[in-house]
């Protein structure tokens, strides 16, 4: 409804303007005295806002009359009656109002942005208006309209919020009628509020007004546009409105009850509250006292740069339950950040009412995202707020006393209230994204729990599914359902539908999951299939076809405009006013004819079937499809006793397909889901009586309409008989009213037997059936149960496709730089339209892997997406990303680890160096998994860099960057990421369809070894020789004194590879070989397969197992993959043809890792399923699954470490499995999967990097490394021997060589000899320091320096005991020559107290502090990352204690050194060879990282505050 403008009486207009001014004046009287302290900018902003408010109030007065006009009792009852009808269809109405409101404001924004050009100038107003309508629709559809931008994360709940606003305001008009005896319509809203006095959600009308203002809505948003949307939606989306309600809406806006109500009680009140909230923060408390107080606090000696430390120390001490939420947070960064947040809260008071593009709004949105990523629960916000006040309260007294005798006194209570108010304004934005996520997770948990109950899932399956859902919500803001879940949800929604009398067959509903279908043509084909499925054999089957859900960035989602599968057109005779056809469809028919979407047939009849019209997001025009009549079954209406009824020519569609219902499953909205049950005869009777002429039916039945009492009842009865007769004759299912009533009662009994109360809306069941029906006296409660179906608004109406331009419509040229033409604006709003054809996703999986974890995970992902035939390769192989265009890649998935100081792995360096053309990846969806360890300062830096590089090329995030922390929960995160990306790219429904289209059956993938022709072999498997050559080992000597075979550190010297050189500080890359012992064990696991292959190749069985296996290992082979009849080379990490001996030695790793365990256990499980009498073996495999499953369930990696403690290598696992199968093997030898199945799973054997310990100055042609030989024992007693360290430790000097290369590093000594240097190395971490010291000694000698007293070089070296003090003799010589000062820390000495390097650092703290503050000081640390972390904390404490720095200052000082490349590190994973067993050391590190906040708190409490003041 477009409000009328009154231009007739100028005097009346002046009176209305005067009334608006009085509105402003009344607001001024209510506003607090802002005093003289208001800043000019704030005063100007408030004056501008008041001016805008005045203009909007004038417009309201012009259209809706003066403010304050009382509504009569009749008006109040009219409003209440009409509103009850709204609430009966509340889901439809609230969507219609809210979307119409957004559309109107979007149109205004388009018009205001318009700059006409010559083409537009000559266009008709109707053409211009049509452009405006389309652009506004696009703006709303992409959430770029004013309401969407203002509400932000609250947009999804905006419909409910506004419904609550109207509901409460209307009920306040009739408070005496709100105490009801039975059921009453109320809006179904979500609860809110954070408790403890910190109410962060809206619970009253006033709070809703405040929310709208906080979000940045202005008077123009809540004035005439809101009123117009309210009245329009009442008129267009209130079914079955009574005549008096329609008459009220048709009155002039200044006379109707609804129009005067919305203008006076909503729009004007909202504008006044908007003024008030701005002036609330213009008082001296916010403009003067709080900013002044905060500045004084920051400058206070006890608080300077320490507020964040005190804040979080108090918070975590007083509320220890919050420690878990900060377990992995960088507390130092947070401590620094909180002070900035308080700055924002107390110093930017003028922006507390947040304009969308203000610094305040952008900053709080960033804060909100950070808090959501930290998973800080909303119930923690009151504690955080109280703690902020508590941290500041000690400074209240001093501040209050300083203003006691001034004109602006203040009390401590007032300061507290002001702080709480400011905190609430900031946190009101910050908490909501997390609240939104919590609510969605709660809904998801409830729904998935229902699915688990219906599908009888075991608890383990439910737990796993909930973990998947939470991860997807956290990463994408939404989640997807499986086909089973959609089926359960659709059936439950039917069971829960209070208005449906015929839901007894709810559990037989056939649900067709078509959520993967996006092509309009394909969707129409699915609708045809729906018709055919529903009418198979004429015995109608209840069917639902579910298309994709609404996404978080959409407003409408896919929508059907045609309400039912078969609807009849209506035509109005302009002269007589008579309607031909179904009058209910008159407006829609006229609309689609006018727009040219459909041309009616000639001649027109009363049963012309309307086309199916469908609208997809991103496509400008709707899709129109006319079905072949053979799919649309109709029943000719005839009466068994009155033949003239048939002559009327009426017919009706036999399948009641409803298109315009939505379904909410666990917080996910489905907006396109054609659904049919079967007709109840009374439904058709009611429609025919309402839409066609009942008099004509009476005449055909011989009923006198003038003399017969209750003739309509008689017509209804006979028409009911006719409908049942006609459907029976046509052979289609229909149910009569008496039968369906009995079925409903039976349904209620069944529900009661299952412990469920059956919701029912009596007016739609008992009222429909009548007083003689069994349901008439059935007491019903109309309560909401989810899942649920919901009414949808009519999109075509809301958007306004059918509207003519208003009388005063005009596009005025605006000569400003910000305006654009409509065509340009269209390009800005409408991004490239999606391509909707169904296609198999084209997937690129690229990895950057140094240790093999990322590569193994990439292979695992590739196998899960095998139906898409993904490309799996290293990042270097796709440098520049040309492959995306060449192969039409739709999805790029990257798994990248981080090496060294945040560098990319060697197989990703070319990718990082090569530019990707701008916009090359536009439309390509990407997901990046960054692997690393938080023990390193640059955790997952390479993954972050890859993600940034892809985003800069225009890629679209499939999911945000994910980081897998090896120190905490890497296995669980990797598994979750792999599963999530697979499900997003290849949902279950799409996978099923692709399999069907490609003719895939259920046959598993087969792998086979294809052996080449037999060749000669040696009696002993020869050592692998690298075709590119090897560097000879020149020295291989032990550095540790003693005879303990488990403790060995060796000095090994190689020739520098040809055409290579190195710089001191670089790394030597060594390609290891698996030991012959390990290869032999592997071969013996598969001795039967290898022996049979040798015999089949012609070898004599009498040669014996050892000879046959040795011979077969030296034969070349290939691996074939057989997938649904297709044969192609299997994807492996090695090239074929090759020999198994070579591959096992040099190409594959036989060590297990978290990335490869899952695939191997799954392989064993599949192999076990094919065995007979396999219960014992299944128990063994089940125990393996439990270990892995528990680790993923708890997200801590602990159980995975237990698994690897039992089975550190593949051979250990296979040997254990083979032993478990002996009891079920008739031959007693055991069974294992074929080698062909194992090889594709195995990751590549990666090179190892060692810090070079020689100097390129003194030894340019030889390179020296210091190697700790790994020989450890797990907690389960399994011996672990490091593959590479044991390999090179066994090299014979002068004869043996290894495949080595130089790997450039950024670890470099300072060029200036006078720069203070601090070197820290533990164990073999001393290696690069030896090279640095050699260079330093040479340089000092070359310079001829004799006075070295002023040169500072401190070396802190840590080891267990004197016997393990490697290079001690050389170091002593350097110290005697004043090259360095040696600080030796022994942790297991028999004669000295226990000391670690970090202890030695703190012991020399005062002197080191003086060096660290030198602008030219350089620090180097090398060793395991745990030691590096402890040393970092030691230096922080040194700076705090001796330089009187706060922790934040100390941390920032060290960060600055890193930025200036004066703080360098060469760290690696946890040491396993020296101090602890493998599992124990990993667990220690994991626990330490998981309790990061507790460690930080302990450190804060361990420092004497007085010492650092």
Q: Picking from 404-418, 492-506, 881-895, which range would have the lowest pLDDT averaged per residue? A: 404-418
Percent of the chain with pLDDT over 70: 88
pLDDT at 974 over 80: yes
Structure tokens at 1415: 């602008």
Q: Which pLDDT does position 181 carry in this prediction?
A: 63
Distances (CA, A) of 728 to 621, 681, 716, 1022, 1074: 41, 11, 18, 85, 79
Task: Place 1204 in a pLDDT band, splitting at 50, 70 and 90.
Answer: confident
Range 120-130 average pLDDT: 66
Q: Which pLDDT does position 353 carry in this prediction?
A: 55
Task: Place 1224 in a pLDDT band, splitting at 50, 70 and 90.
Answer: confident
Instruction: Tell me the HSE value of 1395 on the side-chain side, using a 13 A CA sphere.
Output: 18
Range 1102-1124 average pLDDT: 92
Close Cβ partners of 604 (under 8 Å, ≥ 6 residues apart): 569, 571, 580, 581
Q: Picking from 58-72, 590-604, 776-790, 1486-1500, which range would have the lowest pLDDT averaged per residue? A: 1486-1500
Mean pLDDT score of the chain: 85
pLDDT at 1079 over 70: yes
Task: Place 1323 in a pLDDT band, splitting at 50, 70 and 90.
Answer: very high
Q: By C-alpha distance, which of 871, 868, 846 is closest to 929?
A: 846
> Positive or negative CA dihedral for 526, 530, 533, 535?
negative
Task: In whole angstroms, give the CA distance from residue 369 to residue 437.
Answer: 11
pLDDT higher at 185 or 32:
185
pLDDT higher at 182 or 1259:
1259
For residue 609, the 8-state DSSP code is: B
Q: Which pLDDT does position 1085 carry in this prediction?
A: 95
Q: Picking from 160-164, 462-466, 1137-1141, 1475-1479, which range would have the lowest pLDDT averaged per residue? A: 1475-1479
Q: Which pLDDT does position 348 carry in this prediction?
A: 66
Structure tokens at 746: 């039976």
Q: Which pLDDT does position 37 carry in this prediction?
A: 55
Is residue 249 within 8 Å of residue 149, measured between CB atoms?
A: no
Q: Picking from 69-73, 1433-1437, 1493-1497, which range would have the lowest pLDDT averaged per residue? A: 1493-1497
The model's pLDDT over 1040-1054, given as tens digits with 9 standing for 90+, comes to 987 788 889 999 999
pLDDT at 14 over 80: no
Task: In whole angstroms, give the CA distance from residue 510 to residue 517.
Answer: 18
Q: Which pLDDT does position 198 carry in this prediction?
A: 42
pLDDT higher at 1477 or 174:
174
DSSP code per residue over 729-755: HHT--EE-HHHHHHHHHHHHHHHHHTT
Q: Which pLDDT does position 1002 carry in this prediction?
A: 63
Close Cβ partners of 665 (under 8 Å, ≥ 6 residues apart): 447, 481, 485, 486, 489, 490, 493, 787
The model's pLDDT over 913-961, given as tens digits with 9 standing for 90+, comes to 999 998 899 989 999 999 988 777 788 899 999 999 999 999 999 989 9
Q: Picking from 613-617, 968-972, 1372-1376, which range would have the lowest pLDDT averaged per residue? A: 968-972
The model's pLDDT over 811-832, given as tens digits with 9 standing for 90+, comes to 544 443 333 444 443 434 443 3
Q: By C-alpha distance, which of 863, 855, 953, 938 is closest to 903?
A: 938
Residue 589 burial (C-beta neighbours within 10 Å; 0-12, 13-18, 19+):
buried
Q: Which pLDDT does position 245 carry in this prediction?
A: 85
Q: Which pLDDT does position 304 carry in this prediction?
A: 65
For residue 627, the 8-state DSSP code is: P
Task: Place 1193 in a pLDDT band, splitting at 50, 70 and 90.
Answer: very low
pLDDT higher at 130 or 773:
773
Q: Which pLDDT does position 429 carry in this prediction?
A: 85
Task: Place 1068 in a pLDDT band, splitting at 50, 70 and 90.
Answer: very high
The model's pLDDT over 544-592, given as tens digits with 9 standing for 90+, comes to 999 999 998 899 999 999 999 999 999 999 889 899 999 999 999 999 9
Task: Place 1475 in a pLDDT band, splitting at 50, 70 and 90.
Answer: very low
Task: Place 1491 in a pLDDT band, splitting at 50, 70 and 90.
Answer: low
pLDDT at 163 over 80: yes
SS3 1246: coil
Q: Picking from 427-441, 1133-1147, 1397-1411, which range would have the lowest pLDDT averaged per residue? A: 427-441
Task: In whole angstroms, give the CA distance from residue 110 to residue 145.
Answer: 9
Task: Place 330 in a pLDDT band, splitting at 50, 70 and 90.
Answer: confident
SS3 1139: strand
pLDDT at 1192 over 50: no
pLDDT higher at 237 or 46:
237
Range 657-669 average pLDDT: 94
pLDDT at 1003 over 60: yes
């Amino acid at each position: 409804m477009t409000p009328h403008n009154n231009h007739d009486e100028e005097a009346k207009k002046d009176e209305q303007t005067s009334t608006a001014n009085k509105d402003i004046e009344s607001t001024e009287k209510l506003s607090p005295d802002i005093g003289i302290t208001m800043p000019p900018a704030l005063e100007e902003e408030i004056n501008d806002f008041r001016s805008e408010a005045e203009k909007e109030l004038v417009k309201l007065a012009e259209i809706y009359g003066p403010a304050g006009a009382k509504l009569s009792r009749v008006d109040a009852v009219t409003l209440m009656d009409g509103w009850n009808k709204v609430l009966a269809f509340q889901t439809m109405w609230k969507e219609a109002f809210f979307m119409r409101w957004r559309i109107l404001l979007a149109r205004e924004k388009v018009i205001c942005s318009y700059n006409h050009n010559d083409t537009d100038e000559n266009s008709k107003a109707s053409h211009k208006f049509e452009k405006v309508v389309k652009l506004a629709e696009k703006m709303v559809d992409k959430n770029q309209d004013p309401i969407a931008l203002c509400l932000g994360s609250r947009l999804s709940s905006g419909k409910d919020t506004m419904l609550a606003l109207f509901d409460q305001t209307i009920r306040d008009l009739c408070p005496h009628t709100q105490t009801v005896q039975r059921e009453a319509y109320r809006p179904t809203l979500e609860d809110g509020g954070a408790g403890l006095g910190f109410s962060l959600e809206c619970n009253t009308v006033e709070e809703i007004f405040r929310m709208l203002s906080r979000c940045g809505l202005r008077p123009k948003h809540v004035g005439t546009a809101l009123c117009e949307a309210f009245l329009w939606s009442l008129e267009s989306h209130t079914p079955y409105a009574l005549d008096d309600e329609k008459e009220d809406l048709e009155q002039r806006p200044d006379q109707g009850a609804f129009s005067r109500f919305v203008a006076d009680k909503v729009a004007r009140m909202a504008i006044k509250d908007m003024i008030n909230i701005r002036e609330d923060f213009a008082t001296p408390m916010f403009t003067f006292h709080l900013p002044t107080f905060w500045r004084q606090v920051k400058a206070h000696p006890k608080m300077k740069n320490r507020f964040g430390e005190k804040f979080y120390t108090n918070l975590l001490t007083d509320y220890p339950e919050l420690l878990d939420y900060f377990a992995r947070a960088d507390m130092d960064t947070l401590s620094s950040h909180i002070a900035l947040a308080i700055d924002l809260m107390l110093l930017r008071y003028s922006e507390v009412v947040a304009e969308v593009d203000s610094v305040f709004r952008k900053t709080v949105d960033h804060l909100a995202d950070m808090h959501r990523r930290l998973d800080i629960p909303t119930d923690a916000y009151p504690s955080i707020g109280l703690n902020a006040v508590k941290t500041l309260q000690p400074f209240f007294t001093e501040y209050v006393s300083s203003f006691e005798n001034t004109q602006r006194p203040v009390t401590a209570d007032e300061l507290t209230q002001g702080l709480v108010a400011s905190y609430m304004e900031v946190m009101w934005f910050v908490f909501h994204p997390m609240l939104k996520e919590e609510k969605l997770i709660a809904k998801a948990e409830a729904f998935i729990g229902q699915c688990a109950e219906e599908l009888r899932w075991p608890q383990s399956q439910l737990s796993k599914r909930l973990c998947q859902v939470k991860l997807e919500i956290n990463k994408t803001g939404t989640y997807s359902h499986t086909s089973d879940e959609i089926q359960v949800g659709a059936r439950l929604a039917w069971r829960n539908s209070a208005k449906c009398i015929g839901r007894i067959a709810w559990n037989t509903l056939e649900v067709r999951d078509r959520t993967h279908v996006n092509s309009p043509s394909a969707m129409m084909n699915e609708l045809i299939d729906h018709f055919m499925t529903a009418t198979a054999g004429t015995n109608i089957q209840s069917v639902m076809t579910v298309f994709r859900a609404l996404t978080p960035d959409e407003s409408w989602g896919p929508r059907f405009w045609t309400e039912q599968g078969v609807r009849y057109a209506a035509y109005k005779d302009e002269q007589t006013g008579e309607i031909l056809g179904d009058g209910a469809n008159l407006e829609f028919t006229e609309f689609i004819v006018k727009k040219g979407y459909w041309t009616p047939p000639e001649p027109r009849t009363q049963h012309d079937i309307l086309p199916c019209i469908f609208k997809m997001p991103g496509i400008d025009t709707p899709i129109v499809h006319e079905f072949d009549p053979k799919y649309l079954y109709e029943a000719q209406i005839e009466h068994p006793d009155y033949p003239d009824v048939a002559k009327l020519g009426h017919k009706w569609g036999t399948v009641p397909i409803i298109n315009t219902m939505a379904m909410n499953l666990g917080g996910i909205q489905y907006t396109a889901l054609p659904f049919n049950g079967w007709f109840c005869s009374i439904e058709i009777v009611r429609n025919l009586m309402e839409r066609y002429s009942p008099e004509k039916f009476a005449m055909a039945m011989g009923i006198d309409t003038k003399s017969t009492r209750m003739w309509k009842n008689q017509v209804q009865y006979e028409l009911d008989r006719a409908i049942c007769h006609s459907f029976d004759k046509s052979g289609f299912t229909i149910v009569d009213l008496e039968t369906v009533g009995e079925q409903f009662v039976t349904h209620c009994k069944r529900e009661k037997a299952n412990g469920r109360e059956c919701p029912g809306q009596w007016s739609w069941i008992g009222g429909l059936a009548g007083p003689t029906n069994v349901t008439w006296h059935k007491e019903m409660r109309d309560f909401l149960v989810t899942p649920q179906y919901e009414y949808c608004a009519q999109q075509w109406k809301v958007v306004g496709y059918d509207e003519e331009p208003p009388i005063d419509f005009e596009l005025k040229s605006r000569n400003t730089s910000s305006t654009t033409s409509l065509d340009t604006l269209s390009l800005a709003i409408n991004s490239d339209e999606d391509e909707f054809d169904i296609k198999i996703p084209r997937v690129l999986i690229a990895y950057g892997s140094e240790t093999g974890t990322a590569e193994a995970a990439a292979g695992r992902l590739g196998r899960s997406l095998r139906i898409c035939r993904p490309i799996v390769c290293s990042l270097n192989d796709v440098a520049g990303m040309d492959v995306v265009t060449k192969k039409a890649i739709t999805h790029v998935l990257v798994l990248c680890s981080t090496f060294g100081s945040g560098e990319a792995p060697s197989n990703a360096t070319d990718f990082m160096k090569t530019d990707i053309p701008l916009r090359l990846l536009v439309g390509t969806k990407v997901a990046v998994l960054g692997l690393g360890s938080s023990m390193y300062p640059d955790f997952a830096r390479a993954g972050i860099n890859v993600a940034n590089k892809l985003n800069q090329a225009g890629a679209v995030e499939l999911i945000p960057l994910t980081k897998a922390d090896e120190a905490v929960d890497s296995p669980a995160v990797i598994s979750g990421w792999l599963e999530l990306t697979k499900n997003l790219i290849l949902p279950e429904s799409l996978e099923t369809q692709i399999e069907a289209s490609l003719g895939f059956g259920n046959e598993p993938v087969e792998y086979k070894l294809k052996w080449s022709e037999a060749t000669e072999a040696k009696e002993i498997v020869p050592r692998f020789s690298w075709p590119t050559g090897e560097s000879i080992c020149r020295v291989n000597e032990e550095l540790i004194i003693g005879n303990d075979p488990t403790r060995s550190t060796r000095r090994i010297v190689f020739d520098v590879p040809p055409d290579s050189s190195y710089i001191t500080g670089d790394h030597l890359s060594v390609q290891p070989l698996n030991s012959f012992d390990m290869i032999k064990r592997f071969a013996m696991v598969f001795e039967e397969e290898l022996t049979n292959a040798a015999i089949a190749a012609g070898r004599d069985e009498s040669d014996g197992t050892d000879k046959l296996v040795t011979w077969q290992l030296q034969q070349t082979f290939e691996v074939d993959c057989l997938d649904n009849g297709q044969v192609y080379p299997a994807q492996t990490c090695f090239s074929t043809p090759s020999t198994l001996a070579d591959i096992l030695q040099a190409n594959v790793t036989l060590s297990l890792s978290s990335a490869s365990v899952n695939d191997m256990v799954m392989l064993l499980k599949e192999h076990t399923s094919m065995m007979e009498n396999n219960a014992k073996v299944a128990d063994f495999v089940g125990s393996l699954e439990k270990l892995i499953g528990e680790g993923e369930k708890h997200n801590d990696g602990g159980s995975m470490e237990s698994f690897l403690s039992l089975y550190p290598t593949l051979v250990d696992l296979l040997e254990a499995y083979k032993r478990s199968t002996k009891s079920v093997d008739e031959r007693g030898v055991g069974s294992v999967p074929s080698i062909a199945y194992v090889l594709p799973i195995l990751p590549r054997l990666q090179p190892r990097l060692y810090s070079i310990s020689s100097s390129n100055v003194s030894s340019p042609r030889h390179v020296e490394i210091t190697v700790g030989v790994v020989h450890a024992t797990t907690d389960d007693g399994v011996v672990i021997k490091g593959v590479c360290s044991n390999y090179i430790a066994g090299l014979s000097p002068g004869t043996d060589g290894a495949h080595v290369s130089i790997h450039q590093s950024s670890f470099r000594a300072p060029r200036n000899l006078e720069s203070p240097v601090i070197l820290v190395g533990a164990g073999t971490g001393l290696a690069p320091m030896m090279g640095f010291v050699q260079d330093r000694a040479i340089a000092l000698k070359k310079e001829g320096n004799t006075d070295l007293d002023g040169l500072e070089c401190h070396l802190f070296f840590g080891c267990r005991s004197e016997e393990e003090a490697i290079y001690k003799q050389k170091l002593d010589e350097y110290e005697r020559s004043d090259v360095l000062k040696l600080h030796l820390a022994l942790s297991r000495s028999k004669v000295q107290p226990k000391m670690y390097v970090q202890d030695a650092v703190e012991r020399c703290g005062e002197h080191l502090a003086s060096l660290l503050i030198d602008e030219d000081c350089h620090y180097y640390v090398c060793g395991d990352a745990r030691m590096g972390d402890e040393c970092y904390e030691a230096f922080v404490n040194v700076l705090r204690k001796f330089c009187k720095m706060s922790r934040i200052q100390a941390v920032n000082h060290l960060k600055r050194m890193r930025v200036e490349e004066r703080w360098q590190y060469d760290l690696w994973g946890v040491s396993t060879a020296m101090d602890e067993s493998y599992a124990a050391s990993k667990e220690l590190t994991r626990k330490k990282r998981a309790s990061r906040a507790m460690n930080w708190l302990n450190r804060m409490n361990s420092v004497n505050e007085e010492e650092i003041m």
